[in-house]
Chains A and B, each alone.
Chain A
């Protein structure tokens, strides 16, 4: 209510005579608001893929964020103030996404917004966040923050992007699996990022992408694409997203049967929220996956890993503690957790008090350079590039052994770094 009134007073020409009386009332109310502001909760808006194509991610993003919020408040909140989060479904749709940014900012009065994963939603919503001058902390993966496509109010401090992920893994794939690669990817932008950056990285390693098989996103069966995989393929690189991923992986298994097959390297996106021990997936035994965060708790896991899993409600296999069939989106959902703790650091560094400090908050994040591993950065240490608004971190390669994903390689942070394409700090707010 206060936000609405403030918006009315500052942004609209007041043509109703009645507003004079309203203004007097507001003057009376103002001291109480200022007084309350110092101890009132900090309100964060979470743009959630609760329905639509991103729903499996959304479900776990909400759980992870709730768990992080509880920990944050147990630790004393931010700047001595409790924190609350307003979740709003964007239907994984860019049009609705922009409306949700609007709703969280101008109606719910949130201090900032975080949370979206899917690239098209981020790109569709970021312009509105820029217009409203509200910090927009995304947990996406496409190469669109660091590419310079967005604006100064959009940051990605919680997860690396596809460009960093694929280019850091290419050397290991070349050295350990083979040099002739066939790529199977969805025929839209996320897949194109994989195609372009992995092909480039493979070439740099002296390998060759011998076939690129793009699959239209409307496809529900993949049998007619699989015979296009050249026989001389040494490594089959696959990445799929959306409801058809399970069909894709099963049909891949049926295609090769028990006969000879190339080495298979996939992005865990193909199997996020899917039980790897599901019937029909036996052929994945011995294949490799990229993971942003290891779904199965590894023997050398740091001590905070158990605390994180318990807080989020995930067992050692990456499934819900209350339902072993409810597999998490473990490789991605840490991004919400870490983003929330970056927000805490940013607000504390900028002395954030109210929405008037939003610009100072963004500048404080831009000034950050590194995050140490620990309970607030559960996936590992990270390097933050304030100019490109993008974080860089380790990537993991796991092998399916005995039906479980076991880590066989961890990249260094530097492996995924690339030259800056933008300097957001040079842009005006």
Chain B
């Protein structure tokens, strides 16, 4: 009950911020909420199930290009494009998972990284269709869903919040479900879970698909809401980004990705105004984190018993 109240309170706070934030932070928060959905998907795989992937940029870009290309080349409107883009992320994760989940640990990292690179180079190779590294702006007509212009500040924020709310409550329900507990069991002791009759491959594949669904949704919404689709979103940094968000906010905590995304976004934003070494600042922050709070901010709070009820 306490957990549910907290999640609802966070959503209420985000809604209230819509009315009071200045323009700059209002737009930033819309971006952050979509990025947090991406990180939430990553958290399902990494934080709860222990699958350390370095290929999530592939699922993000599958969603982004899935939606963007349909709008650009087939004139679809936003709603069907967003749906298909989201499913494209899940489909890409299923395909990758089928092959990559034959490995584990460091090998999984390397194999997923390779898949993501292959995806990136494929986008460049078919540059005539995908726009290659330059990408393309999403046509205005394709940024309207159910009469809502996603290019306008107000609807964009509220749609981002809607997506985030759906993702967060879905995540909460997932980790409290029977399947959620099996996910954690896989993370803690895969062999023992197998002995108890679970099929680790099937569970992990299901997790990858769910994770890809989140990433695909984030990619599709990001592309359509902010009007640009490009291959840079398929590069390695975008695979590492959700990992950093999750590590900072708290791995295996439902609210960790949001907190991590907010802090990391503003850390980079503030640092880049004062130094060219913003990556060093980010690296330094992560170093401090690993030394003093290796489970991330919320993870450490939970571990130290200050909020042991956090899901």
The answer on a CB contact under 8 Å between A127 and B226 is yes
User: Which of the 9-residue segments A3-11, A315-323, A379-387 touches chain B?
Assistant: A3-11
The answer on a CB contact under 8 Å between A123 and B19 is no
With both beta carbons as reference points, the residue of chain B lying nearest to A188 in the complex is identified as: B133
User: Which of the 9-residue segments B174-182, B269-277, B290-298 touches chain A?
Assistant: B269-277
The B-contacting residues of A in range 1-55, CB under 8 angstroms, are 4-5, 7-8, 11-16, 50-51
Compute how far the CA of A150 lies from the CA of B22 in the bound complex, rounded to whole angstroms.
27
The answer on a CB contact under 8 Å between B227 and A8 is no
Q: A88-B273, A149-B137 are in contact. Are A189 and B132 (CB under 8 A)?
A: yes
Interface residue from B127, B134, B151 paired with A131 (Cβ < 8 Å): B151
The B-contacting residues of A in range 97-130, CB under 8 angstroms, are 98-99, 102-103, 106-107, 119-120, 123-128
Q: List, in ascending order, chain B residues with CB within 8 A of A7's CB.
A: 22-24
The answer on a CB contact under 8 Å between B19 and A216 is no
By CB atoms of chain A within 10 A, which of B21, B124, B152 has the most?
A: B124
Whether B198 sits at the interface, judged by CB under 8 Å, is no
Would you give the 0/1 interface string for A130-160, flagging 1 where the beta carbon is closer than 8 Å to chain B? 0100000000001010000111000000000
Q: List, in ascending order, chain A residues with CB within 8 A of B128's CB.
A: 192
With both beta carbons as reference points, the residue of chain B lying nearest to A4 in the complex is identified as: B22
Q: A93-B232, A120-B135, A192-B132 are in contact. Are A12 and B20 (CB under 8 A)?
A: yes
Q: List, in ascending order, chain A residues with CB within 8 A of B311's CB.
A: none
Q: List, in ascending order, chain A residues with CB within 8 A of B117's CB.
A: 218
Interface residue from B22, B31, B230 paired with A123 (Cβ < 8 Å): B230
The answer on a CB contact under 8 Å between B151 and A123 is no
Identify whether the interface residues of B are mostly helix, strand, loop, or mixed. Answer: helix
The answer on a CB contact under 8 Å between A123 and B135 is yes
Q: List, in ascending order, chain A residues with CB within 8 A of B125's CB.
A: 187
With both beta carbons as reference points, the residue of chain A lying nearest to B268 in the complex is identified as: A96
Q: List, in ascending order, chain A residues with CB within 8 A of B27's CB.
A: 102, 106
Whether A89 sits at the interface, judged by CB under 8 Å, is yes
Compute how far the CA of A91 lies from the CA of B279 in the bound complex, rounded to whole angstroms.
10
The A-contacting residues of B in range 122-158, CB under 8 angstroms, are 124-125, 127-128, 131-138, 151-153
The A-contacting residues of B in range 98-141, CB under 8 angstroms, are 117, 121, 124-125, 127-128, 131-138
The answer on a CB contact under 8 Å between B228 and A144 is no
With both beta carbons as reference points, the residue of chain A lying nearest to B226 in the complex is identified as: A98
Q: Closest CB of chain B to A428's CB: distance in Å?
A: 10
Compute how far the CA of A106 lies from the CA of B25 in the bound complex, rounded to whole angstroms.
9
Whether B302 sits at the interface, judged by CB under 8 Å, is no
Interface residue from B18, B22, B230 paired with A124 (Cβ < 8 Å): B230
With both beta carbons as reference points, the residue of chain B lying nearest to A127 in the complex is identified as: B227
Whether A95 sits at the interface, judged by CB under 8 Å, is yes
Compute how far the CA of A149 lies from the CA of B137 in the bound complex, rounded to whole angstroms.
7
The A-contacting residues of B in range 229-254, CB under 8 angstroms, are 230-233
Whether B187 sits at the interface, judged by CB under 8 Å, is no
Q: List, in ascending order, chain B residues with CB within 8 A of A106's CB.
A: 22-24, 27
Compute how far the CA of A131 lies from the CA of B233 in the bound complex, rounded to whole angstroms.
21
Compute how far the CA of A99 lies from the CA of B266 in the bound complex, rounded to whole angstroms.
11
Whether A178 sits at the interface, judged by CB under 8 Å, is no
Would you give the 0/1 interface string for A252-269, flagging 1 where the beta carbon is closer than 8 Å to chain B? 000000000000000000
Q: A99-B28, A150-B137 are in contact. Are A89 and B19 (CB under 8 A)?
A: no
Q: A127-B227, A187-B124, A216-B121 are in contact. Are A15 and B232 (CB under 8 A)?
A: no
With both beta carbons as reference points, the residue of chain A lying nearest to B238 in the complex is identified as: A95
Q: List, in ascending order, chain B residues with CB within 8 A of A403's CB.
A: none
Interface residue from B153, B230, B269, B278 paired with A120 (Cβ < 8 Å): B230
Q: List, in ascending order, chain B residues with CB within 8 A of A80's CB.
A: none
Whether A94 sits at the interface, judged by CB under 8 Å, is yes
Compute how far the CA of A142 lies from the CA of B136 in the bound complex, rounded to whole angstroms.
13
The answer on a CB contact under 8 Å between A123 and B134 is yes
Compute how far the CA of A128 lies from the CA of B225 in the bound complex, rounded to whole angstroms.
10
Whether B7 sits at the interface, judged by CB under 8 Å, is no
The answer on a CB contact under 8 Å between B135 and A12 is no
With both beta carbons as reference points, the residue of chain B lying nearest to A16 in the complex is identified as: B20
By CB atoms of chain B within 10 A, which of A11, A16, A94, A125 has the most?
A: A94
The answer on a CB contact under 8 Å between B135 and A94 is yes
Compute how far the CA of A94 lies from the CA of B135 in the bound complex, rounded to whole angstroms.
10
Compute how far the CA of A103 lies from the CA of B279 in the bound complex, rounded to whole angstroms.
19
By CB atoms of chain B within 10 A, which of A13, A95, A216 has the most?
A: A95
The answer on a CB contact under 8 Å between B226 and A188 is no
Compute how far the CA of A192 lies from the CA of B129 in the bound complex, rounded to whole angstroms.
13
Compute how far the CA of A5 lies from the CA of B127 in the bound complex, rounded to whole angstroms.
43
Q: Closest CB of chain A to B205's CB: distance in Å?
A: 29
Q: List, in ascending order, chain B residues with CB within 8 A of A93's CB.
A: 232
Whether A217 sits at the interface, judged by CB under 8 Å, is yes
Compute how far the CA of A142 lies from the CA of B273 in the bound complex, rounded to whole angstroms.
28
Interface residue from A13, A14, A51, A216 paired with B124 (Cβ < 8 Å): A216
By CB atoms of chain B within 10 A, which of A107, A150, A218 has the most?
A: A107
The answer on a CB contact under 8 Å between A188 and B22 is no
The answer on a CB contact under 8 Å between A189 and B228 is no
The answer on a CB contact under 8 Å between A124 and B135 is yes
Q: A149-B137, A150-B137, A189-B134 are in contact. Are A94 and B230 (CB under 8 A)?
A: yes
Compute how far the CA of A131 lies from the CA of B225 in the bound complex, rounded to whole angstroms.
11
Would you give the 0/1 interface string for A66-77, flagging 1 where the beta carbon is closer than 8 Å to chain B? 000000000000
Q: Closest CB of chain B to A62's CB: distance in Å?
A: 11
Q: Closest CB of chain B to A141's CB: distance in Å?
A: 12
Q: A88-B272, A103-B269 are in contact. Are A95 and B137 (CB under 8 A)?
A: no
Compute how far the CA of A16 lies from the CA of B19 in the bound complex, rounded to whole angstroms.
8
With both beta carbons as reference points, the residue of chain B lying nearest to A187 in the complex is identified as: B124
Q: A11-B153, A13-B19, A15-B19 are in contact. Are A99 and B269 (CB under 8 A)?
A: yes
Q: List 19 A-B contacts (CB under 8 A).
A: A4-B22, A4-B24, A8-B22, A8-B23, A12-B26, A16-B19, A51-B279, A99-B269, A102-B24, A103-B269, A120-B135, A123-B228, A124-B228, A127-B137, A127-B226, A128-B227, A151-B137, A188-B132, A189-B131
Given contacts A5-B22, A51-B276, A149-B137, 18 further A-B contacts (CB under 8 A): A4-B23, A12-B19, A88-B272, A89-B272, A106-B22, A120-B134, A120-B135, A120-B231, A123-B131, A124-B228, A124-B230, A127-B227, A150-B137, A187-B125, A187-B127, A189-B133, A217-B133, A218-B121
Give A residues with C-beta under 8 Å from B. 4-5, 7-8, 11-16, 50-51, 88-89, 91, 93-96, 98-99, 102-103, 106-107, 119-120, 123-128, 131, 142, 144, 149-151, 187-190, 192, 216-218
A-B pairs, top 6 by smallest CB distance, nearest first, are A127-B227, A7-B23, A189-B134, A4-B22, A188-B133, A107-B24
Give B residues with C-beta under 8 Å from A. 18-24, 26-28, 31, 117, 121, 124-125, 127-128, 131-138, 151-153, 226-228, 230-233, 269, 272-273, 276, 278-279
